[in-house]
Amino acid sequence: MRIFTFLLVLSAGCAWEVPPEERVVVEIADRAFTVGEFEAFVARSVRQDDDPFLADAVTEALFGQFIEEQLMLKAADDAGIAADPKTVADRLEALGEVETDDGDRSETVALRSTLEKQVRIEKLVETRFLGDLAVTEDEITEHYETNRAYYERPETVEISQILV
């Protein structure tokens, strides 16, 4: 009986550690987002095959984008905005992705999910923020004439290299 009590007390004192990919990084409304979800976002956003290292500033900027995307998707949910299946299918086709019933579809499914999120966010922005916004031809002409020097300058590229 003493051994059982000792093991019970010992097990109560030893908390199981949460795996890193299941740790919560941010909570938005009633939804908690994990490190694994953020890592999936980073993998979608930054395609790195060889070097998985990202500078802190890049990771911080990506985390800001992750939060912004989740907030926009939450707002789209609240507004009842869904992705138009035809728009998503057209974008998949434009990217050269064709859905088939055979073979490995995990990349196509992930791409479809990403495109659905993009379409929902675009629709939210169009309906909530740009709905009443209209630009006339006169305004476009005036803007061009005011900033003519900016539009007429030649394209330039600056390149620098540091050798170690």
Reading the chain (164 residues) residue by residue, the pLDDT tens digits are 455 444 444 455 555 677 767 788 888 888 888 888 888 888 877 776 655 677 788 888 888 998 999 999 999 999 898 988 899 888 888 887 665 555 556 677 878 888 899 999 999 988 887 877 788 999 999 999 998 888 887 777 778 777 76
Contacts of 45 (CB under 8 A, 6+ apart): 62, 65
DSSP 8-state symbol, 91: H
Q: How many CB atoms lie within 10 A of CB 119?
A: 20
Angstrom CA distances, 111 to 35, 45, 48, 153, stand at 20, 11, 17, 38
Contacts of 145 (CB under 8 A, 6+ apart): none
DSSP 8-state symbol, 43: H
